[in-house]
A and B are shown apart, each in its own frame.
Chain A
Amino acid sequence: MSLTVDGIEAPAEGTLLDAVLAAGIGLPHLCTDDNLAAIGACRTCLVEADGRIVAACSAPASQFHQVATRGAVVERIRRGVLELTAAMVSPGSLDRPGGPHAGELAAALASHSARLDRYPHRTRTRSDATNTFFSFHEEACILCGRCVAACQELQHIGAIGMAGRGGATRVTPGADATFADSICTSCGSCVAACPTPALSPREAFAP
Chain B
Amino acid sequence: MTRRVPTTCPYCGVGCGIVLNVDDSGRIAWVDDDPANLSSVGMLCVKGRFGATFVNHPDRLTTPLVRRDGVLQPATWDEALDLVARRLPEYRGRFGSFASAKATNEDAFVQQKFVRLVMGTNNIDHCTRLCHSPSVEAMLQQLGSGATSNSYADFEAAGCVVVIGCDPGSNHPVIASRLRRAIDDRGVRLVVVNPRRIDLCDRAQVFLQPEPGADVALFNGMARAILDAGVEDRDFIASRTEGYAAWEAAVLELTVEQHAALAAVDAGLLREAALLIARPPAPVGHPPAGRPGTCLLWGMGITQHTQGTANAHALINLALLTGHLGHPGAGISPLRGQNNVQGCGDSGCIPDSLPGYQRLDEGNLASFEGAWGASPPAQPGLKATDMIERILAGDIRAMYIVGENPLLSEPNLHHATMAIQALDFLVVQDIFLHETAALADVVLPACSFAEKDGTFTNSERRVQRVRPAIAAVGESRPDWEIICDLARRMAPGAGVARGQFEYASAAGVFDELARLTPFLRGLSHERLDREGGLQWPCPTPGHPGSPVLYAESFPRGRGLFVPVRQGSFADETPDADYALILNTGRVLYHWHGGTLTRRVRGLLARVDTVPVAIHPDDAAPAAISGGDDVTVYSRRGRLRGAAVVTDAVRPGSVFVPFVKLNESAANFLTNNAYDPQSRIPEYKVCAVRIEKGHAARRRDAAATGALRPQGEAAIDHEPVPGHE
Contact = CB atoms under 8 A, between A and B. Distances in A.
Interface of A: 34-35, 99-100, 132-133, 154-157, 185-189, 192, 201-205, 207
B184 A186 contact: no
Interface in B584-612: 588-589, 600-603, 605-606
B524 interface: no
Nearest to B35: A35
Contact of A205 (B30, B43, B180, B181): B30
A185 B45 contact: yes
A185 B46 contact: yes
Given A133-B50, A156-B184, A185-B588, A205 B606 contact: no
Chain A at the B interface: SS class: loop
Given A35-B42, A132-B605, A187-B45, A205 B50 contact: yes
B50 A156 contact: no
A198 to B, nearest CB: 16
Given A133-B46, A185-B588, 20 more contacts: A100-B30, A132-B601, A132-B606, A133-B49, A154-B43, A156-B177, A156-B180, A157-B180, A185-B45, A185-B173, A186-B49, A186-B602, A186-B606, A187-B46, A188-B49, A192-B32, A202-B602, A204-B601, A205-B29, A205-B50
Nearest to B203: A156
A53 B21 CA distance: 37
B111 interface: no
B14 to A, nearest CB: 13
Interface string B5-31: 000000000000000010100000111
B435 interface: no
15 contacts: A99-B30, A133-B50, A133-B602, A155-B43, A156-B177, A185-B45, A185-B169, A186-B46, A186-B602, A187-B44, A187-B177, A189-B33, A204-B50, A205-B50, A205-B53
Contacts of B45: 185, 187
Interface string B539-574: 000000000000000000000000000000000000
B32 A100 contact: yes
B29 to A, nearest CB: 6
B32 A207 contact: no
B602 A187 contact: no
A154 B35 CA distance: 10
A132 B603 CA distance: 8
B177 A204 contact: no
A41 to B, nearest CB: 20
A187 B602 CA distance: 12
Nearest to B169: A185
Contact of B601 (A34, A201, A203, A207): A203
Contacts of A156: 177, 180-181, 184
Contacts of B169: 185
B21 A189 contact: no
A100 B42 CA distance: 14
Given A156-B180, A185-B173, A34 B35 contact: yes
